Amino acid sequence: MKNLRFAVIGAGAIARAYEAAFASMAGAEIVAVCDVRLSAAGEYARRVGCDAFGTLSALIARCDFDAAVVCTPPASHESVACELLRNGKHVLCEKPLAVNTRSAQRMLAMADRHRSILTMASKFRYARDVRRAREIVKAGTIGELVFVENAFTTHIDMRHRWNSDAAVSGGGVLIDNGTHAVDILRYFLGNLRDVQIVEGRRMQGLAVEDTVRLFVHNDEDVMGAADLSWSINKELETFLRVYGSDGTILVGWQESRYRRHGEPEWHVFGSGYDKIQAFRDQLENFCAAIRGRENLVITPRDALASVEVIQAAYAALEYARWERIGSQIDELEIAPLRIGHAAEAS
């Protein structure tokens, strides 16, 4: 069977991870890269051995490809993905799928209208230790689920990066690192019912949040939490901790293990997070879905739900209250931007 032909849209840092993932898999290849910075596209193309384009219209008009990976900033996701979908291309879009729920709904409607596959990239769902941890939970090994805790914290100067420009990114650390956190929490907790956010001091003088703590409940009142920061590094060996009535699971960067209450020893079940493996498995699932061989791991509902939770989280941050997920869609259309302007005024 011939390889699926991919275009990569956006030649920034995240596109480098896809470059490595494609190089380690069979059945798919990068045939084109597109970036408004033609020099960046050209450099990427020289490394990969593919064609380079400076506009999406030129790519679509002049290149034969089956699918695309969208690696552009979030504010552009809807316009880029919809143009690709309109032209019959399957789309793997980097997280977050969109900066608000209405935008995400339009993207999903476009995919349905043109019978193309659209999914959101969420690498931690494909990390083998995370998947194994969920299997352990489902098997009842640690009893009933009580609490799921995540942390994505690192000290990085965000003052001159697009990620901290709400007009480009949709917000701050909450939409950036928080999209990963929300998808992990949904993976273990199922549907999330409500959300609360506590924001820390803005240490970098940004117009957006740089440190927050997120709390959620699922439909059965099981709680989850996530620490998200660009300004602190918690120096943790783990990024996911799952607590049950009969035991604990620790998913780490270098090792993952679990222990039941009363047991003297931990049971090691994984060797930690492998970024390229996660990206490769994500691409392989996407390719298999295109060929009709597998269902998507990240379903359209998962992609939309992640946007709904983040949107509700910004409302919770603005109004300092628990927010019911999926409510006040019209009111929250530009919530992240309002938060940024409020911070500048203060």
CATH for 12: 3.40.50.720
How many CB atoms lie under 10 A from the CB of residue 26?
8
Residue 267 belongs to a domain: yes
Task: Confirm whether 287 is domain-assigned.
Answer: no
Q: Both 71 and 201 in a single domain? A: no
Tell me, yes or no, whether 265 and 140 share the same domain: yes
Same domain flag for 112 and 27:
yes
Q: What is the 3-state secondary structure (H, E, C) of 10-21?
A: CCCHHHHHHHHH
d(CA 113, CA 135): 35
Per-residue pLDDT tens, the chain, 346 aa: give them.
Answer: 799 999 999 999 999 999 999 999 999 999 999 999 999 999 999 999 999 999 999 999 999 999 999 999 999 999 999 999 999 999 999 999 999 999 999 999 999 999 999 999 999 999 999 999 999 999 999 999 999 999 999 999 999 999 999 999 999 999 999 999 999 999 999 999 999 999 999 999 999 999 999 999 999 999 999 999 999 999 999 999 999 999 999 999 999 999 999 999 999 999 999 999 999 999 999 999 999 999 999 999 999 999 999 999 999 999 988 889 985 444 333 333 333 333 333 2
Number of domains in the chain: 2
**Domain C-terminal end among 121, 146, 169:** 121
Q: Does a structural domain hold residue 292?
A: no
Query: Looking at the structure, do residues 27 and 167 belong to the same domain, yes or no?
Result: no
- Assess if residue 297 is contained within a domain: no
> DSSP letters along 109-176, please?
HHHHHTT--EEE--GGGG-HHHHHHHHHHHTTTT-SEEEEEEEEE-----TTSGGG-HHHHSSSHHHH
Question: Same domain for 60 and 167?
Answer: no
**Angle formed by the axes of helices 38-48 and 13-23, to 10°?**
20
Domain co-membership, 182 together with 206: yes
- Same domain, yes or no: 197 and 104: no
Range of the structural domain that residue 12 is part of: 4-121
For residue 214, give the nearest of 312, 131, 101, 331 by alpha carbon: 312
Q: Is residue 208 part of a domain?
A: yes
Taking residue 5's Cβ as centre, other Cβ atoms within 10 Å add up to 17
Q: How far is CA 93 from CA 54, 276, 329, in A?
A: 19, 17, 22
pLDDT number for residue 1 = 76
Nearest to 301 by CA among 131, 167, 135, 101: 101
Considering the domain architecture, whether residues 242 and 322 belong to the same structural domain is answered as yes
Paired sense of beta strands 51-53 and 28-34, if any: parallel
CATH of the domain at 225: 3.30.360.10
Residue 175 included in any domain: yes
Can you give the pLDDT at residue 15?
97
- What pLDDT was estimated at residue 337? 36
- Look at residues 121, 146, 180 and tell me which one is the last residue of a structural domain: 121
How confident is the model at residue 320, as a pLDDT?
Answer: 85
* Domain identity same for 135 and 253: yes
Instruction: Report if residue 288 sits inside a domain.
Output: no
Q: Is residue 30 part of a domain?
A: yes
* Whether residues 209 and 331 fall in one domain: yes
- Helical axes 275-290 vs 13-23, angle rounded to 10°: 70
Strand pairing class (211-218; 192-199): antiparallel
pLDDT score recorded for residue 327: 56
Same domain for 197 and 247? yes
Tell me how many degrees the CA angle 172-221-142 measures, rounded to the nearest 5: 100
- The answer to whether residues 268 and 187 belong to one domain is yes
Final residue in a domain of this structure, among 73, 97, 121: 121
pLDDT, position 330: 41
Structure confidence at residue 345 (pLDDT): 32
